[in-house]
Amino acid sequence: MAGANIYHLKNVDYSERGQTLEIIVDGVPKPQTIIFSGTDYFGDRYYFTEQGLRYIQDSRRKRRLQNFTIHYLAKIPILLKSPQLVARNIDRPDHYLFCDRIAVKEHGNRQGLFGVVLIKTNINVVWNFYWVQENRAPIETEIIYKSHKKL
Protein backbone atom coordinates (compact mmCIF):
# COMPACT_ATOMS: atom_id res chain seq x y z
CA MET A 1 0.00 0.00 0.00
CA ALA A 2 2.72 2.45 0.97
CA GLY A 3 4.26 2.91 -2.44
CA ALA A 4 1.51 1.73 -4.80
CA ASN A 5 -0.08 5.14 -5.29
CA ILE A 6 3.16 6.77 -6.48
CA TYR A 7 2.88 4.85 -9.76
CA HIS A 8 -0.36 6.62 -10.72
CA LEU A 9 0.06 10.28 -9.83
CA LYS A 10 -1.17 13.26 -11.79
CA ASN A 11 1.11 16.11 -12.83
CA VAL A 12 4.31 14.04 -12.95
CA ASP A 13 6.11 12.50 -15.93
CA TYR A 14 6.39 8.71 -16.18
CA SER A 15 7.90 8.73 -19.70
CA GLU A 16 11.39 7.77 -18.43
CA ARG A 17 10.16 5.11 -16.00
CA GLY A 18 12.57 2.19 -15.74
CA GLN A 19 15.50 4.08 -17.22
CA THR A 20 18.70 4.34 -15.22
CA LEU A 21 20.57 7.51 -14.38
CA GLU A 22 23.60 8.11 -12.21
CA ILE A 23 23.72 10.64 -9.42
CA ILE A 24 26.96 11.69 -7.77
CA VAL A 25 26.70 11.68 -3.96
CA ASP A 26 29.79 12.69 -2.00
CA GLY A 27 31.86 11.99 -5.10
CA VAL A 28 30.48 8.47 -5.48
CA PRO A 29 28.34 7.53 -8.51
CA LYS A 30 25.05 5.91 -7.49
CA PRO A 31 22.84 4.33 -10.17
CA GLN A 32 19.14 5.19 -9.85
CA THR A 33 16.11 3.66 -11.62
CA ILE A 34 13.51 6.29 -12.48
CA ILE A 35 9.90 5.99 -11.34
CA PHE A 36 8.84 9.51 -12.36
CA SER A 37 10.14 13.02 -12.80
CA GLY A 38 8.68 16.42 -12.08
CA THR A 39 9.50 20.08 -11.64
CA ASP A 40 10.22 21.66 -8.27
CA TYR A 41 9.32 25.14 -7.00
CA PHE A 42 12.41 26.63 -8.67
CA GLY A 43 11.54 25.12 -12.07
CA ASP A 44 14.28 22.46 -11.83
CA ARG A 45 13.63 18.91 -12.99
CA TYR A 46 13.91 16.21 -10.31
CA TYR A 47 13.61 12.43 -10.31
CA PHE A 48 11.91 10.06 -7.91
CA THR A 49 13.65 6.68 -8.12
CA GLU A 50 13.24 3.08 -6.96
CA GLN A 51 16.35 3.46 -4.79
CA GLY A 52 15.01 6.64 -3.21
CA LEU A 53 11.69 4.93 -2.54
CA ARG A 54 13.41 1.98 -0.84
CA TYR A 55 15.56 4.31 1.27
CA ILE A 56 12.51 6.30 2.39
CA GLN A 57 10.57 3.16 3.26
CA ASP A 58 13.49 1.57 5.13
CA SER A 59 14.43 4.71 7.05
CA ARG A 60 10.83 5.44 8.10
CA ARG A 61 10.22 1.85 9.24
CA LYS A 62 13.30 2.05 11.49
CA ARG A 63 11.77 4.99 13.35
CA ARG A 64 8.49 3.96 14.97
CA LEU A 65 7.24 7.55 15.23
CA GLN A 66 7.82 7.97 11.48
CA ASN A 67 6.12 4.78 10.22
CA PHE A 68 2.96 6.58 9.13
CA THR A 69 4.83 8.87 6.71
CA ILE A 70 5.06 6.19 4.01
CA HIS A 71 1.28 6.55 3.56
CA TYR A 72 1.85 10.12 2.30
CA LEU A 73 4.40 9.50 -0.48
CA ALA A 74 1.94 10.77 -3.08
CA LYS A 75 2.30 14.23 -1.50
CA ILE A 76 5.97 14.49 -2.53
CA PRO A 77 5.39 16.10 -5.98
CA ILE A 78 2.90 18.58 -4.50
CA LEU A 79 5.27 19.49 -1.69
CA LEU A 80 8.19 19.96 -4.11
CA LYS A 81 6.10 22.14 -6.43
CA SER A 82 4.58 24.46 -3.83
CA PRO A 83 6.42 24.28 -0.49
CA GLN A 84 5.89 26.61 2.44
CA LEU A 85 9.61 26.59 3.14
CA VAL A 86 12.82 25.55 1.42
CA ALA A 87 16.07 25.25 3.35
CA ARG A 88 19.58 24.17 2.37
CA ASN A 89 21.79 22.08 4.63
CA ILE A 90 24.76 24.19 5.72
CA ASP A 91 27.18 21.24 5.89
CA ARG A 92 25.88 19.60 2.72
CA PRO A 93 24.85 22.44 0.40
CA ASP A 94 23.58 20.03 -2.26
CA HIS A 95 20.87 18.80 0.17
CA TYR A 96 17.68 20.86 0.05
CA LEU A 97 14.70 20.43 2.36
CA PHE A 98 11.27 21.31 0.95
CA CYS A 99 8.66 21.58 3.73
CA ASP A 100 4.90 21.90 3.94
CA ARG A 101 2.04 20.89 6.18
CA ILE A 102 -0.03 17.76 5.54
CA ALA A 103 -3.19 16.67 7.39
CA VAL A 104 -2.22 13.45 9.17
CA LYS A 105 -5.04 10.94 9.57
CA GLU A 106 -3.00 8.97 12.12
CA HIS A 107 -2.83 12.10 14.32
CA GLY A 108 -6.51 13.03 14.23
CA ASN A 109 -6.15 14.95 10.93
CA ARG A 110 -3.92 17.52 12.61
CA GLN A 111 -1.48 19.28 10.33
CA GLY A 112 2.05 17.92 10.49
CA LEU A 113 5.13 19.45 8.89
CA PHE A 114 6.73 17.14 6.35
CA GLY A 115 10.04 17.49 4.58
CA VAL A 116 11.36 16.18 1.28
CA VAL A 117 15.13 16.01 0.94
CA LEU A 118 16.13 16.76 -2.63
CA ILE A 119 19.76 16.28 -3.57
CA LYS A 120 20.68 18.84 -6.22
CA THR A 121 23.88 17.74 -7.93
CA ASN A 122 24.45 16.59 -11.48
CA ILE A 123 20.86 15.26 -11.40
CA ASN A 124 18.23 16.28 -8.85
CA VAL A 125 16.90 13.27 -6.93
CA VAL A 126 14.42 12.82 -4.08
CA TRP A 127 16.53 11.35 -1.29
CA ASN A 128 14.26 11.25 1.74
CA PHE A 129 10.81 12.14 3.07
CA TYR A 130 9.92 12.52 6.71
CA TRP A 131 7.78 14.14 9.36
CA VAL A 132 9.58 17.16 10.79
CA GLN A 133 8.74 16.52 14.43
CA GLU A 134 9.89 19.91 15.72
CA ASN A 135 7.63 21.67 13.18
CA ARG A 136 10.47 23.93 12.05
CA ALA A 137 13.47 23.70 9.75
CA PRO A 138 16.40 21.90 11.37
CA ILE A 139 19.09 24.11 12.96
CA GLU A 140 21.76 22.95 10.49
CA THR A 141 19.89 24.53 7.57
CA GLU A 142 19.61 28.00 6.10
CA ILE A 143 16.21 29.09 4.82
CA ILE A 144 16.32 30.10 1.17
CA TYR A 145 12.58 30.45 0.59
CA LYS A 146 9.61 30.95 2.88
CA SER A 147 6.06 31.51 1.70
CA HIS A 148 3.80 34.11 3.26
CA LYS A 149 1.58 31.30 4.63
CA LYS A 150 2.01 30.56 8.32
CA LEU A 151 4.16 27.51 8.92
- Taking 90 as the threshold, does the pLDDT of residue 81 lie above it? yes
Strand order in the sheet with 20-25: 20-25, 28-39, 45-49, 124-131, 110-120, 95-104, 85-89, 141-146
Whether 57 is covered by a domain: the verdict is: yes
Contact, 87 vs 144, CB < 8 A?
yes
Does the predicted model carry a pTM greater than 0.95? Answer: no
Q: What is the mean pLDDT of residues 80-96?
A: 95
Question: Please, which pLDDT band fits residue 90 given cuts at 50, 70 and 90?
Answer: very high
Whether 83 is covered by a domain: the verdict is: yes
101-144, pLDDT tens digit by residue? 999 888 788 888 999 999 998 899 999 999 997 777 888 899 99
Number of domains in the chain: 1
Residue-level pLDDT at 12: 96
- Expressed as residue numbers, the domain containing 22 is 4-146
Whether 151 is covered by a domain: the verdict is: no
